[in-house]
Structure 1
Amino acid sequence: MKVCLALILLASAAATSAADLKVQSCGSSATVNVNGIKITGCDKNPRNCIFKKGQNANMSLPFTSSTQIQAVHAKVSGHLGPLTVPFSLPQPNACINSGLVCPLQADQPNVYVASLPVKRIYPSVRVIVQWELLDEHDNKLVCIKFPVQLQN
């Protein structure tokens, strides 16, 4: 019985979703489906997503805005203690090649998809990544934070 319980606990720990990673909201005006978020390297480690240097980190982020949004742009930064370092996205306009069709309609589900290059020059450190989707007035439509370990 104890062995079965241990196996069940081990299996449930291995099945980590973004919600298990403590993805936190940092001021979203839209409703974010936290359980539907998928992030590269988050399925094997319950404490950090593992981003491999020299590869892309991919994300799928479902959300619903309560109002119509004309334009959306993405912004990503890493927080390392008191330092905030911006990361460059290949396509910061979230209305282009990111799964969104702008203008976004009110009360309609959307899924933002993005790929972030993890450069080899980045140090192998643990950072808190903040990913924001901003509307045409630079208001936070979506803002999430999650822990990442950068690795070779």
Structure 2
Amino acid sequence: MMNIFGIVFCLSLSFAVIVNGKFAPCGGSAKITKVICNGKDMETEQMCILKKAENSTLSVTFQADKPVKSITSVCHGIIGGIPVPFNGIDTNGCDGIQGGCPLAAGKTYTFTTQIPVKKIYPSIKLAIKWEEMMDSKTDAWCLVIPAEIL
């Protein structure tokens, strides 16, 4: 169960990302070097546009700082500070990494995945929180991206 600190953190982080219009790291020890959403560099774009009834593509380039045997993908849309799971993502993070797992310390990898956007989703601005977890409690990396469903 999420404690009050976690709720306040999610609220402030999602608000800061939407206001600032850039992706923000939110945990993990791997260094994120590039984030691409639907072919657009999130270093220069203000929003990741998610179109209803389509799959959106997310690519994250990162440098692993330690060996990793496997990773699990976790994705939430943060709406009004409340994390809502994105259903239908591939939770095996190794599937999205060029060359697969295991990962070696000091090497750079690109993770690419699809985010299914259902037609019934509301048109809304939100933050996407994407985590790649080494175990059930430790992020390899985590980021929050400003997004809009159209």
Spell out the pairing of 1:24-103 with structure 2 (5 A cutoff). 24-33=24-33, 36-40=34-38, 42=40, 46-103=45-102
TM-fit CA distance, 1:28: 2.4
Question: How many Å separate the matches in 1 of 2:56 and 2:128?
Answer: 12
Structure 2 CA distance, aligned partners of 1:49 and 1:66? 27
Q: Distance in 1 between matches of 2:102 and 2:45?
A: 36
Distance (Å, rounded) in 2 between the aligned partners of 1:137 and 1:69: 13
- Percent identity for Structure 1 against Structure 2: 28
Deviations 1:9-47 (A, max 9, x none): xxxxxxxxxxx94110101210110xx21112746x943
Question: Partners in 1 of 2:80 and 2:109 — Cα distance?
Answer: 32
Q: What one-letter code is carried by the residue in structure 2 that aligns with 1:78?
A: G
Q: Which has the larger radius of gyration?
A: 1
Q: Over aligned residue pairs, what C-alpha RMSD do you find?
A: 2.2
Q: Shift of residue 95 of structure 1?
A: 1.2
| Residue in 1 that maps onto 2:6 | none
Q: How many residues align?
A: 130
Unaligned runs of 5+ in 2: 1-19
In structure 2, what is the equivalent of residue 118 of structure 1? 117
Question: Which residue of structure 2 lines up, in the alignment, with residue 132 of structure 1?
Answer: 131
- Kept in 2: contact 1:69–1:136 (CA 8 A): no
Structure 1 residue runs of 5 or longer lacking an equivalent are: 1-19
* Alignment-mate amino acid for residue 86 of structure 2: F
2-structure distance, mates of 1:100, 1:77? 26
Structure 1 CA distance for aligned equivalents of residues 80 and 39 of structure 2:
22
Shift of 1:107: 0.6
- Aligned AA for 1:136? D
TM-score normalised to the size of structure 1?
0.77
Q: CA deviation at 1:59?
A: 1.0
